[in-house]
């Protein structure tokens, strides 16, 4: 009977944690979520894991939590039409399975700490949590959404630490605090004064250590937010947000005409001439280099090429680029493409381009789709086989401003701005001074999807201490300064334009941009040492050392 009660209680704790996390993340009710709720959202989960006795009970509990939070916070993935079976269905199952070993490993740390070191349990929980979120945010199936660091957007004092530790430092602090709070709640069960005093001291010492950590992090945040840094250049930018139906290709001419009219209207109502016009991802549906004649003559009312010549301003726009079929493909007659952005000069020539490296799995990219038999297999299984191939070059793009100063920027496409290590590699390799992201999230039809993407992306500005421009189809189009503040924006789900003199700061190599994911790798190393020390060989070595002492 007692076991049934514990299982019911643990399930209630699980649901409570999922609810708190769902509200703490950016959602339909709280635009940017709630960092105070984010600080305690993991505590019920921690309690449920500690109170669950069996290894695989913990694993399943952790798996259910991850899958439930994924569904609650990313429910809008179901709007990805034909791909919804992958984006929300298969991904939920995948994350449930992938997290099982992490829950099982936490059981081992609890067994070890239960002996006489219960104060280590919150630390172990925080280390494992960082490892999980880092694991979830990297690789082919990477998806950095539903992560606890996303809850802290509104707490600027806390988020400044990411230029040292990346977002993983925030995840560690929140998980550590949640674990400590859980241990404090568990202490209240000890009614005997002697038992309480004996067990409380190490927990309170841990609490003091956590207070010290937060004091250091918040002090660092205060220092960064008040530093005096002056922009070295500016880039007059015209950001165009068309708000087109990204699924509707029935009137490509009409869609292109609308974008041209928005651009002309924005430029007409501003006295200054922009240095750059920025459209959104896939705004040029037909591959620009392969369809040059189309863009010279169309739309008939005002051809795209004519707009470029008359405005005398280069444009950065999304367009598929042909992929060299001789590289790793077995079908020379099948034309592959990359999801790319092109810098197109006022004469209509492509000045430079960047091709997306991190593609959306099973939506933009099918594994091994460059081979004909794989395409045939996907076509039979799910009814489609087309997609992009990933780009290969970590290149930047150069542009001149009105002062004839060169500005080098990187252009991560769509959700590439959510991948810290990728952006750091682009930033360091090219010594970039600006990030320009072209995105189309309009298919989500929810403001929470737009703001979640923005929140994940804005950490790149802080990590690299670099201004970011986000130009989207439906939102959230904005300019973000190197401290994570929005200094210019457009409302969601409406057509419009933003003319903004974007501040450009000198290239900086932060600790994070230089060493990238050093913090989660440190956590992995600590877990590895723990695993080795708890093997038979490790235990023998420890006992031998103890005898020598």
494 is catalytic: no
Q: Is the peptide bond before 476 cis (omega within 30 degrees of 0)?
A: yes
Catalytic residue (choose from 133, 183, 281, 416) = 281
β-sheet bridge partners, residue 234: 503
Residue entry with tokens 């091994």: 368
For residue 23, how many C-alpha atoms fall within 13 Å in the half-sphere facing its CB? 11
Three-state DSSP class for residue 345: coil
Task: Look at strands 478-480 and 467-472 and give their pairing.
Answer: antiparallel
| C-alpha–C-alpha distance, residues 222 and 380, integer Å | 57
One of 356, 416, 463, 516 is an active-site residue; which one? 356
CA proximity to 179, closest of 127, 111, 115, 108: 127
Burial (CB count <10 Å: 0-12, 13-18, 19+), residue 122? buried
Angle at 455 between CA 454 and CA 459, to 5 degrees: 105
| Triad 117, 119, 124: Cα angle to 5° | 95
Among 136, 183, 414, 433, the one annotated catalytic: 414
Residues 69, 22: contact at Cβ < 8 Å?
A: yes
Q: Which of 41, 48, 44 is closest to 22 using CA atoms? A: 41
- What whole-number distance in Å separates Cα of residue 427 and Cα of residue 415? 16
H or E element that contains 455:
helix 447-464
List, in order, residues 6 or more apart from 459 with CB less than 8 Å away.
149, 159, 162, 167, 420, 484
CB 130 within 8 A of CB 523: yes
CB 218 within 8 A of CB 259: no
Which has the closest alpha carbon to 411: 441, 391, 389?
Answer: 391
Tell me which DSSP letter residue 47 carries. Answer: H
The DSSP bridge pattern shows strands 406-410 and 434-439 to be parallel
Sheet of 496-504: strand order equals 350-355, 337-344, 315-322, 276-278, 233-241, 496-504
Q: Measured over all CA atoms, what is the biggest interatomic distance in the chain, rounded to whole angstroms? A: 89
CA–CA distance, 200 with 196 (Å, rounded to integer): 6
549 is catalytic: no
Known active-site residue 356: yes
**Active-site residue set:** 281, 356, 414
């Amino acid at each position: 009977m007692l076991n049934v009660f514990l299982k019911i209680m643990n399930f209630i704790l699980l649901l409570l944690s999922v609810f708190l996390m769902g509200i703490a993340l950016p959602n339909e009710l709280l635009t940017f979520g709630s960092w105070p709720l984010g600080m305690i959202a993991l505590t019920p989960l921690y309690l449920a894991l500690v109170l669950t006795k069996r290894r695989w009970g913990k694993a399943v509990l952790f798996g259910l939590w991850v899958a439930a939070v994924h569904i609650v916070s990313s429910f809008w993935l179901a709007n990805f039409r034909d791909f919804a079976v992958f984006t929300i269905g298969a991904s939920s199952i995948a994350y449930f399975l992938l997290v099982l070993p992490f829950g099982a490993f936490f059981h081992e740390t609890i067994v070890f700490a239960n002996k006489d070191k219960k104060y280590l349990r919150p630390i172990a929980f925080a280390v494992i949590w960082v490892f999980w979120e880092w694991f979830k945010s990297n690789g082919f199936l990477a998806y950095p959404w539903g992560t606890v660091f996303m809850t802290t957007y509104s707490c600027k004092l806390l988020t400044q630490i990411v230029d040292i530790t990346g977002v993983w430092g925030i995840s560690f602090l929140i998980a550590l605090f949640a674990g400590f709070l859980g241990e404090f709640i568990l202490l209240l069960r000890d009614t005997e004064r002697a038992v309480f005093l004996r067990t409380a001291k190490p927990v309170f010492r841990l609490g003091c250590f956590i207070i010290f950590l937060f004091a250091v992090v918040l002090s660092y945040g205060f220092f960064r937010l008040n530093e005096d840094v002056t922009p070295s250049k500016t880039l007059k930018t015209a950001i165009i947000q068309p708000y087109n139906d990204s699924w509707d290709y029935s009137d490509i001419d009409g869609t292109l005409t609308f974008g041209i009219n928005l651009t002309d209207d924005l430029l007409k109502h501003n006295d200054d001439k922009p240095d750059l016009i920025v459209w959104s991802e896939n705004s040029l549906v037909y591959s620009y280099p392969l369809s040059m004649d189309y863009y010279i003559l169309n739309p008939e009312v005002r051809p795209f090429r004519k707009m470029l010549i008359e405005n005398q301003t280069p444009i950065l726009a999304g367009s598929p680029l042909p992929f060299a079929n001789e590289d790793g493909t077995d079908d020379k007659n099948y034309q592959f493409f990359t999801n790319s952005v092109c810098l197109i000069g006022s004469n209509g020539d492509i000045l430079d381009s960047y091709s997306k490296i991190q593609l959306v799995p099973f939506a933009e990219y099918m594994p091994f789709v460059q081979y004909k038999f794989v395409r045939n297999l996907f076509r039979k299984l799910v009814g489609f086989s087309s997609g992009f191939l990933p780009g290969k070059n970590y290149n930047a793009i150069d542009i001149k401003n009105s002062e004839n100063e060169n500005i080098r920027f990187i252009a991560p496409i769509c959700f590439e701005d959510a991948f810290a290590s990728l952006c750091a590699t682009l930033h360091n390799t090219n010594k970039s001074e600006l990030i320009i992201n072209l995105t189309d999230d309009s298919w989500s039809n929810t403001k929470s999807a737009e703001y979640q993407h923005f929140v994940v992306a804005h950490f790149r500005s802080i990590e690299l201490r670099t201004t970011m421009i986000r130009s989207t189809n439906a939102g959230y189009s904005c300019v973000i300064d190197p401290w994570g503040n929005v200094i210019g924006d457009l409302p969601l789900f409406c057509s419009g334009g933003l003319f903004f003199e974007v501040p450009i700061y000198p290239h900086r190599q932060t600790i994070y941009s230089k060493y990238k994911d050093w913090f989660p790798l440190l956590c992995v190393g600590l877990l590895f040492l723990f695993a080795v020390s708890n093997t038979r060989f490790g235990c023998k070595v420890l006992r031998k050392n103890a005898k020598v002492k």
